[in-house]
Amino acid sequence: MPQHEDDRPSGVLFFAGIALILLGAYLFFMRDENISTGSVFAYFWPTLFVIPVGILLHWLYFGVFGRNAVGVLVPAGIVTTAGIVCQIASAFLLAARRSTP
């Protein structure tokens, strides 16, 4: 995996960038409402808990096991896809709550 000057893997920086973009979009669209830790967890739980597990399993398959453990890749794809689908559903739930008076 390519390394940066600060010796962190580029995957960590990619995930941190995606999380910051999602948080910025949330803050932009929720200007008029109170923001609490509970509301951030309510809308971004897939990004915080599910997707990192899927990325970890992908990293294990491609980086650690050297493409010899197919049993890790299948759950990695399922967990990552489920996390992305749940995050999209949470985004639509946020938009629906925003549009109702």
Q: What is the pLDDT of residue 67?
A: 79
pLDDT interval class at 96 (50, 70, 90): confident
Provide the H-helix boundaries in the chain: 10-29, 37-45, 51-59, 70-99
C-alpha to C-alpha distances, 59 to 33, 67, 94, 96, 100, nearest whole angstrom? 38, 10, 31, 35, 41
pLDDT in tens, 14-70: 777 887 887 788 777 777 667 778 887 888 899 889 999 999 999 889 888 887 888
